[in-house]
Structure 1
Amino acid sequence: MSTDLDHIQKVFDEADCLYTQEQVEDAIRRMAEKITEKLADKNPLIFAVMNGGLVFCGKLLTHLKFPLESSYMHATRYRNTTSGGELDWKVPPLQELAGRTVLVIDDILDEGHTLAAIIEHCEQAGAKEVLSGVLVDKIHDRKARPGQKSDFTGLECKDRYIFGYGMDYQGYWRNAPGIYALKGH
């Protein structure tokens, strides 16, 4: 199956920019300040949720000026499509979580099923405290748990299909320099 790169480019060209690169970077710096206040003395283990959390977590880590360990995990529901399915663990946390403060970093809190399952997994593995941080919280009434929020949130957006800064459109545009909404969605 070949990808129609003209279509992929057209999606970006027609997309609405919701947040510029400067706005996103400012939000990441503000989040880092809040995370530092809460976790600087807790020797946290920080996980990037792949693939979406990669860009955001990498940017965030450079602003955290205290000792920490970082790693990754890979759980997904999307598989390069625009709607979620069953949770698929590709790489669970490989570090010992018992007694640790864990911060799970992901790109977006949409319905929250993936994030809720990851947090539950970390709690069941004996983590002392499990916190979450997302770049974007999508505002709607379809959360996995009523009122579900992340402990640290960079930005909020309306209920649209978004991409950029780790979030993708059919596997592309995770590298977009800002956060964009798909035209018509």
Structure 2
Amino acid sequence: MLTSQQIADRVRQLGTEITRDYRGRDLVIIGVLKGAAAFTVDLARAIDLPVVMDWTAVSTYGRGSTAGTPTLLKDIGEELAGRDVLVVEDILDSGATLSWLMARLRKQAPASVNCCVLLRKPHTVAKPMEPRYVGFDITEHWVAGYGIDYAERHRNLSDIHEVRLPSAALTASA
């Protein structure tokens, strides 16, 4: 679906945009584990600014199916009051997880809270959510690779691939 070269090129472009937009500001990058780990690290290296990085983990997906309600598994340690926050996420699907997380972060009174998503599925976004930075728009298919998993597998692939589900899995998740 997306080659490692396409991903690397787009990450560099996003890094340039973020560098321009946040120059002279106190930027905290918050990566959402586990899926956005590779993207977050590569993006931080493409940003030509001093940044602080932190990590959070939110569970909404089970092994290949959506679970629905976001659950915080790991909180951040950084103080956000008065600082600019950029949440880095792997996929914007329904928008429920990202909306929930950003609302939670806003309660800490940051100067700003924006998000950067590697992949956006524009046809499935149900919550009003417009990320400031988007790597790629994709179809509603399941994907894996470049840190993104399917049932905790395939994160180590350097390209992003469409996951072809067996017919039984499609029926069960529909």
TM over 0.5: yes
Which residue does the alignment assign to 1:159?
140
Using structure 2 for the length normalisation, give the TM-score: 0.90
Aligned residue identity for 1:62: R
Deviations 1:57-106 (A, max 9, x none): 01111111111111101112013333232111011222111111000001
Which residue does the alignment assign to 2:55?
72
* Offset, 1:22: 0.5
Which residue does the alignment assign to 2:102?
119
**Where do 5+ consecutive residues of structure 1 fail to align?**
1-17
Deviations 1:126-178 (A, max 9, x none): 11100100111112144222xx2211111110111111112101001111111
Give the distance between the partners of 2:45 and 2:33, measured in 1 at CA: 18
Aligned residue identity for 2:151: Q
Q: Is the 8 A contact 1:82 1:169 kept in 2?
A: no
Counting only pairs closer than 5 Å after superposition, residues 1-185 of structure 1 correspond to structure 2 as 18-145=1-128, 148-183=129-164
Aligned residue identity for 1:71: D
Give the distance between the partners of 2:147 and 2:30, measured in 1 at CA: 15
Q: Is the 8 A contact 1:40 1:67 kept in 2?
A: no
Give the distance between the partners of 2:126 and 2:10, measured in 1 at CA: 23
Give the distance between the partners of 1:138 and 1:66, measured in 2 at CA: 29
Deviations 1:28-60 (A, max 9, x none): 111111111111211101111001110100111
Give the distance between the partners of 2:124 and 2:48, measured in 1 at CA: 36
Give the distance between the partners of 2:63 and 2:146, measured in 1 at CA: 16
Aligned residue identity for 1:60: L
- The count of corresponding residues between Structure 1 and Structure 2 is 166
Q: Which has the higher contact order (CA 8 A, sep 6+)?
A: 1
Give the distance between the partners of 1:134 and 1:141, measured in 2 at CA: 15
Give the distance between the partners of 2:135 and 2:23, measured in 1 at CA: 19
**Where do 5+ consecutive residues of structure 2 fail to align?**
none
